[in-house]
Amino acid sequence: MKGTVRDIVQLFGGVDNELHIPVYQRNYDWGEAQCARLFDDLIEVIRFDRKKHFFGAVVGNAELLTWVVIDGQQRLTTTSILMLAIADSLEEGVVKSSDPELGKIIKRNYLVRPGSTMSGENKLKLKPVKDDLDAYRRLLSGEQPIEKSTVTANYRYFRERIAKQELDGDELWNAVNRLEVMALDLESHDDPQRIFESLNSTGKELKESDKIRNLVLMGLDTKTQNDLYERYWNRIEKNVEFDTDTFVRLYLVSRTRKTPRFDAVYEAFRKYLQDQNAPIESVLQDMHQYSGYYFELNTAATGVAAADRRLCRFNLMQRDVAMPTMMPLVADLKSGAITPQDFTRIVTIIDSYLFRRTVVGDASNALNKIFATLYNEATRIRTENTDLAEVISYLLLKRAETSGRFPEDDEFRLEFATRNFYKFRSQYRQYIFECLENRNSKDHLDVANALQDGSASIEHIMPRTLTKEWRNELGEDAEETHEKWVHRIGNLTITGYNSEYSNYSFAKKKSLPEGFDSSPYRLNNYVRQVESWGPEEIAERTNRLTEQALEYWPMLQTEFVPVVEPLPTVPLGEHTDFKHQKIVSYEFDDSKHSVKSFKEMVRGVCLQLLSEHHEGVYAYAEEDGFGFALSNEPVKDFGELTPGLWVLLDCNTSKKMTVLRRLFHYLDIDTDSLVITLRKESSARDEGNDDEPTGKHAELTKFIPQFEELEGSRASDSDIASLQSEYNEVLAEFARSDWQQFLADGSYPNVSDPVLISQRSIEELLASLSALRQAETFVPGQFRTACIDGTFAKILQRLEDIDVPAE
């Protein structure tokens, strides 16, 4: 092979060039995320005046006037779709160019071959594979698009981005011309099949953390690279025992409150780096500090003896899910923001929360989201002189009716007493018996390690296989007793002499030289006291151990009451019907959206799913999936998502939830991944439109509950960043550039005066909001101030009270 770096448009240029994708390659499968990344890169190329942007490598084999694409079809197909979207947008006047013929030039020189009428596939410069070819040809020829095709979906995405006019036509085309690729041409002695197999073999790929290391260090001079590597990166890797992928993911969750997929950690970190807009060394320094907290938690070395005893056992369960909450807690401990006693209590709360949920069989799906946000929620509503443990207890108790609940004593008592603990995973058994043996004692017997290395094992006091002697001892109900009690906690203990005990009678197990009577384990105290072993003794020991469990893994108690009660959040789940509820916002796939109604939410979620599972959603509709229809004509009670694809929207809330749940099931998506924030008050009605607001300014007033929640809180800039961005985008539609003429008393203090707010007209209120927006540009932090002092909530509530109907 021989390679050269070329502008990607050169591959499409030439009078008779044809890029042919052979049939053995998979269908085109780049989605919206990849298209968004490309378009964002093009914007950066222009904004930062970058001469070139490297877009990867492509491999091909020249055959006369055809270049057979061996590798790189995703990049080439996406580029061709983008060029078509630019050309069509230019021809339709969506964006402007200094050359009125630019759209036609792009098509003529880069998309179709000379003399083409666009009626046959032989005229296309790029020939995609299989079903993609027809979808691509139809877009070029202006025929009816194939909406279920990813090719069509990505074309529509590019059209939408172009229509936002982030760049004009000339800038867009200029940016595309700066895309370059490493083009590798096969030579006569190269075997195309072997090269294809080599390029697509399952060799060891770069880990996400490898790519992150390259991102933060590449481009720096050698001295700086070595310095940052030695002072930060290498120390980070040692602190996390080189499980860097896991650590970086948990670090991002803690810092962003979003949980990236394991295969998307690099992209999430790249975005985090952009959002931070901070020097690389500053970010690495913060990561290094967090890696230290991670190390202290994983090694139970925080310096707080009581907490470390608990953590040592806690770590047996491998509960990384709690790290995003626990790492900043260690930071607070070091800074003095929380006391050692408060920290110890929080560790106990989290330990109890997770273990109780395990015992009662609650699914772990909801935990990622809970621990991603728990620390920030707690610090935001914490009041002065209040232990953080009190606030965390309050927040967990608020989830009583959700999939994130903290199981109460009665349920935990029943499940603990009746569960088959012998079938628990080995590390869970180690944890349970380690905790029950030692509880809060400083005199420690290392049960967990003994069970792990085999020097001790789980012993069934009444054996798993009944002997004649045991049957006689248990009496006529021996089989029933055995079936009921054999694997329950009351019949299980630990011993280093399991093989010696065999299936001996209870009396012999006690009296052996290594028997229960001489056992060093506290777990065997009651066993030493009794002379027989039957249902009464097992039940008594079960009760004793259950009471000890209730003491070691205690129920939450708190008298904390926040200044403003947080808005309730509920996952979609499987059973909640949301009847008579009013929605505030929803969070799905790490993005949050404020909405006016459940109808708006359903539409928004479906559009998100279309962007990520385009063909899957269409397949569901083709199978007559509940709530979906394919039609070129309007469908009663349905709303159109994309041309020809409809979803049921005009129905009661319960039915809307069923539409989403069934689609989620079909796409194999966890229903708990959609989290809905509700208003505190319920709706008296539950009609088709969910009491959707009809005011002219409803897009603004939908933010009222979120601003009310922030009033009097300790919200940080990062807590309100998402709301600020979304609110400002909506406000742009209503803002008044000449706001001063509406406010005779328009100084900043007067804008925030509650008495004046209560007397203002609609125009004066909009002018007030515009004044606040302008104040933020001159004095950063004014937005946060207006959230916390209640200014935004008061202005928007007044606006809602006097709003006029939409036209």
Domain assignment present for residue 561? The answer is: no
Residue 684: strand, helix, or coil:
coil
Calpha distance 473→466 (Å, rounded): 10
Calpha distance 242→486 (Å, rounded): 42
Of 269, 299, 329, the last residue of a domain is 299
Domain assignment present for residue 624? The answer is: yes
| Position 528 pLDDT exceeds 60 | yes
Domain assignment present for residue 686? The answer is: no
DSSP H helical ranges for 118-233: 131-141, 150-163, 169-177, 192-199, 208-217, 222-228
**Residue 650 is part of which domain span?**
569-678
**Alpha-carbon dihedral 634, 635, 640, 645, rounded to 10 degrees:** -100
Taking alpha carbons only, the member of 746, 735, 742 closest to residue 773 is: 735
Counting Cα atoms < 13 Å in the Cβ hemisphere of 417 gives 17
Tally Cβ neighbours within 10 Å of residue 443.
Answer: 6
In eight-state DSSP terms, residue 206 is P
> Do 77 and 55 belong together in one domain?
yes
Domain assignment present for residue 684? The answer is: no
Domain assignment present for residue 631? The answer is: yes
| Position 686 pLDDT exceeds 50 | no
pLDDT, tens digit (0-9, with 9 covering 90-100), for 386-429:
999 999 999 999 998 888 999 999 999 999 999 999 999 999 99
Strand 179-185 versus strand 2-7 pairing type: antiparallel
- Residue 727 has which token pair? 């609110």
User: Chain-centre distance of CA 797, in angstroms?
Assistant: 32
> Do 312 and 445 belong together in one domain?
no
What pLDDT is recorded for position 204?
A: 56
Cβ–Cβ < 8 Å for 458, 451: yes
| Position 500 pLDDT exceeds 80 | no
- Residue 513 has which token pair? 């030289």
Tally Cβ neighbours within 10 Å of residue 134.
Answer: 15
Cβ–Cβ < 8 Å for 77, 126: yes
> Do 426 and 548 belong together in one domain?
yes
> Do 181 and 272 belong together in one domain?
no
Cβ–Cβ < 8 Å for 371, 380: no
Calpha distance 220→733 (Å, rounded): 43
Helix (H) or strand (E) holding 183: strand 179-185
Residue 583: strand, helix, or coil:
strand
> Packing angle between helix 323-335 and helix 244-256, nearest 10 degrees?
70
> Do 704 and 621 belong together in one domain?
no
Where are the extended beta strands (E) located within 419-556? 457-460, 492-495
> Packing angle between helix 244-256 and helix 367-381, nearest 10 degrees?
40
Cβ–Cβ < 8 Å for 570, 678: yes
pLDDT, tens digit (0-9, with 9 covering 90-100), for 660-676:
999 999 999 999 889 99
Q: Which residue has the tokens 């004692």?
A: 441
Q: Which residue has the tokens 């628990």?
A: 424
Residue 237 burial by Cβ neighbours in a 10 Å radius (0-12, 13-18, 19+):
middle
> Do 401 and 446 belong together in one domain?
no
| Position 498 pLDDT exceeds 80 | no
Helix (H) or strand (E) holding 642: strand 638-642
Burial 466-491 (b: 16+ CB within 10 A, else e): beeebeebbeeebeebbeebbbbbbb
What pLDDT is recorded for position 3?
A: 78
| Position 745 pLDDT exceeds 70 | no
| Position 523 pLDDT exceeds 80 | yes
Residue 517 burial by Cβ neighbours in a 10 Å radius (0-12, 13-18, 19+):
middle
Calpha distance 404→356 (Å, rounded): 12
pLDDT, tens digit (0-9, with 9 covering 90-100), for 595-605:
999 999 999 99
Q: Which residue has the tokens 């300790």?
A: 714
Calpha distance 196→194 (Å, rounded): 5
The secondary structure of the chain in percent helix, strand, coil, rounded to multiples of 5, reads 55, 10, 35
Instruction: Give the list of residues 6+ apart from residue 398 with CB closer than 8 angstroms, or none.
Output: 566, 568
> Do 61 and 150 belong together in one domain?
yes
Of 364, 389, 407, the last residue of a domain is 407
Calpha distance 611→607 (Å, rounded): 6
pLDDT, tens digit (0-9, with 9 covering 90-100), for 634-664:
999 999 999 999 999 999 999 999 999 999 9
Counting Cα atoms < 13 Å in the Cβ hemisphere of 658 gives 11
Q: How would DSSP label each residue in 43-59? A: HHHHHTT-S-EEEEEEE
pLDDT, tens digit (0-9, with 9 covering 90-100), for 102-123:
999 999 999 987 754 444 555 7
> Packing angle between helix 32-47 and helix 150-163, nearest 10 degrees?
30
| Position 746 pLDDT exceeds 70 | no
Domain assignment present for residue 688? The answer is: no
Of 247, 280, 299, the last residue of a domain is 299
| Position 690 pLDDT exceeds 60 | no
| Position 225 pLDDT exceeds 80 | yes
Domain assignment present for residue 466? The answer is: yes
> Do 254 and 346 belong together in one domain?
no
> Do 87 and 168 belong together in one domain?
yes
> Do 343 and 422 belong together in one domain?
no
Q: pLDDT averaged over the chain?
A: 90
pLDDT, tens digit (0-9, with 9 covering 90-100), for 699-728:
999 999 999 999 988 888 888 988 999 999
Calpha distance 293→255 (Å, rounded): 14
Domain count, the chain: 6
Strand 18-20 versus strand 66-71 pairing type: parallel
- β-pair partners for 4: 183
Share of the chain above pLDDT 70, in %: 94
> Do 452 and 359 belong together in one domain?
no
What pLDDT is recorded for position 688?
A: 46
Where are the extended beta strands (E) located within 650-789? 675-678
Cβ–Cβ < 8 Å for 12, 80: yes
What pLDDT is recorded for position 117?
A: 46
Cβ–Cβ < 8 Å for 574, 671: yes
Residue 485: strand, helix, or coil:
helix
pLDDT bucket at 682, cuts 50 / 70 / 90? low
Where are the extended beta strands (E) located within 306-461? 457-460
Calpha distance 791→712 (Å, rounded): 11
> Do 634 and 731 belong together in one domain?
no
Calpha distance 418→55 (Å, rounded): 59
Domain assignment present for residue 691? The answer is: no
